Structure 1
Amino acid sequence: MEGLFLPLLLMLVVAIPLFLGSRKQKQAVQRQQELQNNLVEGDRVMTTSGLYATVADTSGDTTIDLEIAPGVVTTWLRQAVREKVEPIVEDDEADETESDETPVIESATEVETAKSDEDEKTEAEKAGPQVAPPLEHGKK
């Protein structure tokens, strides 16, 4: 009996983690399958490649149409949908309060500073974008 105890114990030590790992994997596959089957038009999703899109059509059994930009609809495999994401909610009140606030200038030095800042901005805008010179590989 003592000769069988050690091999049996080793088998249990190996078998239990294998069993628990496969159980977790089955549950994850089941959740993913439920997500893909429960998609409806208008849901925001993220694909496995990281593309955010809106579900446009779910009539296909193995495919789904995703709108990636206004008027641009592409067809994807359902398995490519990784997760459902919450739509972005813009806070209109915060935008209004930020745009309504104007800085109050109290002294003449502040007026001069504000004018010089505006002049610097316009000079930078006139110069256009800065472009780096091309890299020269292999030339010495």
Structure 2
Amino acid sequence: MLDFLSAAGAGEAPPFWLQILPWVAIFAVFWFLLIRPQMRQQKEHREKIASIKKGDQVVTAGGLVGKVVKVDDDYADIEIAQGVRVKAVKATIGDIVPPGGKAAND
């Protein structure tokens, strides 16, 4: 009985795998709740931007709303008002407005 009490009081360190287990659990929580959903969202955005075609109504990251007039590999010409065209980098296009949707300036 005395041997049990003296061993418990000595304060032996737990095994290494038991010490690292909380860190693995924290990483798993971050992966499934933060990193993985953000990667999926970025992939969907890249696919959406790659599918932009002439005639789509888009919103840029800066908040400009307009209709796509011309598209090439890296740029899109957007008409934001009658006769006013801007060239935007495709990566800065935030979203494609659905055909039935109303733009903010209409």
User: What is the aligned counterpart of 2:21 among 9, 21, 34?
Assistant: 9
Q: Which residue of 1 aligns with 2:95?
A: 83
- Residue 29 (structure 1) shift: 1.1
Q: TM-score under structure 1 normalisation? A: 0.56
- Residue 9 (structure 1) shift: 2.3
Query: Following superposition of structure 1 onto structure 2, how do residues 118-129 of structure 1 map, counting pairs within 5 Å?
Result: none
After superposition, the C-alpha distances for 1:68-123 in whole angstroms (9 at most, x for unaligned) are: 00111110000111011134679xxxxxxxxxxxxxxxxxxxxxxxxxxxxxxxxx
Q: Which residue of 2 aligns with 1:53?
A: 66
User: What is the number of residues matched between the two proteins?
Assistant: 89
Q: Which residue of 2 aligns with 1:43?
A: 56
Matched, 1:25 2:50: no
Q: Which residue of 2 aligns with 1:64?
A: 76
Q: TM-score under structure 2 normalisation? A: 0.72
Q: Which has the higher strand share?
A: 2
SS at match of 1:83: strand
Structure with max Cα Rg? 1
- Residue 10 (structure 1) shift: 1.0
Ranges of 4+ aligned residues in structure 1 off by more than 6 Å: none
Q: Which has the higher helix share?
A: 1
> What CA distance in whole angstroms lies between the structure 2 residues aligned with 1:49 and 1:8?
45
Alignment root-mean-square deviation, CA:
2.2
Compare relative contact order (CA 8 Å, sep 6+) and give the higher one, 1 or 2.
Answer: 2
Gaps of 5+ in 1: 91-140
> What CA distance in whole angstroms lies between the structure 2 residues aligned with 1:57 and 1:82?
17
> What CA distance in whole angstroms lies between the structure 1 residues aligned with 2:69 and 2:87?
9
Identity fraction in percent: 24
> What CA distance in whole angstroms lies between the structure 2 residues aligned with 1:17 and 1:51?
37
SS at match of 1:41: coil
